[in-house]
Amino acid sequence: MSFAIAIDGPAAAGKGTISKAVAAHFGFAHLDTGLLYRAVGAKVLDGVDPIEAARSLVAEDLENDALRTADVAQAASRIAVIGEVRAALVDFQRAFARRAGGAVLDGRDIGTVICPDAEAKLFVTASAEVRAARRHAELLGRGAEATLQEVLADVKERDARDAGRAEAPMVAAVDAVLIDTSSMSIEAAVTAAIAAVEAARK
């Protein structure tokens, strides 16, 4: 029996951490769909055509350690506006969502485009300033050099691009439960997410 949980939201809102915790709590498989786009973005940075990169993507490509770099993140956001790229990755995501035993998918258009029939939908967000501070701390922890102002500008640029694209813009599904993590601890956010899923399962 399948049970799909769609978790959407902007970068650094906490959806990845929450999604992994929710998947672990319910014993479901987890897919960070952003990694699909990052994997394509990494191939594009290596000179591969975006559409060809998306169509030739295999599971092993998601295990590349370089997928978390800022350059790859920007490349992923740029190629995510290409309709043919998105179409090539849709089937992969939908098949994952309907796998036996349940699945959690996190991204930006899961509840609206990929799995509009998901049994549970969450939209995890936070203010741009809070998200920039989180991302800045993460980058510093990796030894990257970037000012908070640069990271904030990058976050706002990605938000505008993700929300304004013609193909599958980032918006909360009308039936999604909103979780604003701006002033929440991870533990509180995970508890809220699990409660929302439990309510959907009844």
Q: What pLDDT, on the 0 to 100 scale, is given for residue 48?
A: 96
Q: What pLDDT, on the 0 to 100 scale, is given for residue 81?
A: 86
Q: Is 15 annotated as a binding residue?
A: yes
Q: Is 23 annotated as a binding residue?
A: no
Q: Is 11 annotated as a binding residue?
A: yes
The domain defined by 4-201 folds into Rossmann fold (3.40.50)
Phi, psi (deg, nearest 5) at residue 178: -85, 130
Residue 123 near residue 189, CB atoms below 8 Å:
no
Q: Is 10 annotated as a binding residue?
A: yes
Q: What pLDDT, on the 0 to 100 scale, is given for residue 195?
A: 98
Sign of CA dihedral 92, 93, 99, 101: positive
Q: Is 12 annotated as a binding residue?
A: yes
Tokens of 128: 């741009």
Q: What pLDDT, on the 0 to 100 scale, is given for residue 190?
A: 98
Q: What pLDDT, on the 0 to 100 scale, is given for residue 163?
A: 86
Residue segments in the chain with a per-residue pLDDT below the cut of 70: none
Give kind and range of the element (H or E) at residue 107.
strand 103-107
